């Protein structure tokens, strides 16, 4: 159950909406057509402005609200909104929406028209998230599997019909059962040789990276994850991507340390501990105009400490962001070029199913 918002857009010749009389005629045509679908339609309010065009609010039984706006520049928008209770049929079917659009397009002699299926707002399950460059994505989520709030973040496991269970942290998709390609690209499977190597994972609370790395027979892996509750949720509901590695906190092959990774990195540096690989499986690159703020400071801190932990021939591997976020990726690479001692980097790309976009991954070594 949720509020349903249906959007119709029509592009008209601006010469047909330039005057008040012309806009009133467009409004009349729209209302006549709407009355074929909403037989008890009534006008609640209308406003005509020489500068801003025409606006009206109509309703059917005060339950379905329709707003109509005609812009002087030739754009017509119609928004239909109503509450759909569980088990009830929608007010408009997709076929009815399509028919309405086609008829109005013809009667208005519209150059271009578009309708969007209902946007579902305020439901128990949030099916909308954003891409890395902040485009809206609608998921086929049908079940809220798990929800809790840790001292650090909101944690959800949602089930998607096509992607399986998905880990959502603070309303952002992190990984799904469909996303083996993310982990394999991050670790460079088939390119990097982990056998007999010492590895440090920063973050990685879903357990997927640790699980896949252990298949490569490393000497030892230490994982630094701050959120115990994330690991408990993933162990129970995402075992298909993490196996049983989150069942224990320490074995001969690996150790999971629950705490702030920066604190433990400082401890390892003081002890003179070195790794062949350090993985940054932490925060995404911020979407910003300049590398300033708390997130960028954190990224620089991770860089500084990671390279102090690497052996001379070691490698730092991390995810970047969506490949469409060019400015943020450039800022990230500028920060890499500022590091001392100097580093060099390569990149790889992969389309990540649950992100619904292509992501960039970095492989960084000492220059």
- Which residue numbers are catalytic? 281
Number of other CB atoms surrounding residue 89 within 10 Å = 7
Q: What is the largest CA-CA distance in the chain?
A: 81
Q: How far is CA 51 from CA 12, 19, 79, 101, 337, in A?
A: 17, 10, 22, 27, 52
- Separation between Cα atoms, residue 250 and residue 218, nearest integer Å: 15
C-alpha angle with apex 200: 237 to 308, nearest 5 degrees? 145
Q: What contacts 76, CB < 8 A, 6 or more positions away?
A: 9, 10, 11, 12, 17, 26, 30, 68, 69, 70, 108, 110
H/E element, 232:
helix 228-237
Judge if the upstream peptide bond of residue 9 is cis by omega within 30 degrees of 0: no
Q: What is the DSSP code string of 82-127?
A: EEE-TTPPPSS-HHHHHHHHHHHHHHTT-SEEEEEEEEEES-SS--
Would you say 33 and 6 are in contact if contact means Cβ atoms under 8 Å apart? no
- Separation between Cα atoms, residue 168 and residue 156, nearest integer Å: 5
- Separation between Cα atoms, residue 359 and residue 203, nearest integer Å: 18
- Separation between Cα atoms, residue 165 and residue 175, nearest integer Å: 9
Tell me 250's DSSP state.
Answer: B
Number of other CB atoms surrounding residue 140 within 10 Å = 10
Would you say 162 and 140 are in contact if contact means Cβ atoms under 8 Å apart? yes
């Amino acid at each position: 159950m949720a509020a349903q918002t249906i959007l119709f857009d029509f592009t008209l010749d601006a010469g047909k909406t330039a005057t008040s009389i012309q806009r009133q005629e467009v409004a009349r045509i729209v209302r006549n057509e709407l009355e074929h679908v909403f037989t008890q339609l009534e006008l609640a309010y209308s406003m005509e402005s020489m500068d801003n065009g025409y606006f009206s609010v109509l309703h059917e039984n005060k339950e379905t609200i329709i707003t109509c706006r005609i812009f002087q520049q030739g754009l017509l928008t119609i928004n239909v909104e109503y509450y759909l209770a569980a088990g009830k049929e929608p007010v408009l079917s997709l076929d009815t929406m399509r028919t309405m659009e086609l008829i109005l397009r013809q009667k208005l002699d519209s150059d271009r028209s578009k309708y969007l299926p209902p946007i579902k707002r305020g439901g128990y399950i949030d099916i909308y998230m954003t891409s890395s460059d902040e485009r809206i994505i609608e998921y086929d989520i049908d079940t809220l599997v798990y929800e809790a709030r840790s001292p650090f973040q909101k944690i959800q496991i949602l089930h998607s019909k096509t992607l399986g269970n998905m880990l959502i942290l603070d309303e952002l998709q992190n990984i799904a059962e469909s996303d083996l390609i993310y982990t394999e690209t991050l670790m460079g499977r088939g390119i990097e040789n982990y056998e007999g190597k010492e590895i440090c994972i920063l973050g990685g609370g879903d357990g997927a990276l640790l699980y896949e790395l252990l298949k490569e027979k490393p000497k030892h892996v230490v994982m630094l994850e701050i959120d115990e509750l994330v690991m408990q949720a993933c162990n129970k509901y995402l075992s298909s991507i993490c196996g049983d590695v989150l069942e224990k906190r320490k074995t001969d092959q690996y150790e999971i340390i629950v705490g702030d990774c920066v604190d433990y990195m400082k401890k390892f540096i003081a002890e003179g501990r070195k790794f062949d690989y350090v993985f940054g499986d932490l925060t995404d690159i911020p979407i910003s105009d300049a590398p300033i703020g708390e997130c960028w400071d954190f990224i620089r801190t991770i860089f500084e400490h990671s390279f102090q932990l690497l052996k001379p021939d070691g490698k730092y591997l991390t995810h970047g962001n969506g490949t469409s976020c060019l400015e943020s990726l450039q800022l990230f690479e500028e920060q890499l070029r500022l590091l001392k001692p100097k580093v060099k980097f390569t990149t790889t790309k992969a389309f990540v199913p649950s992100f619904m976009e292509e992501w960039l991954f970095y492989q960084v070594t000492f220059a």
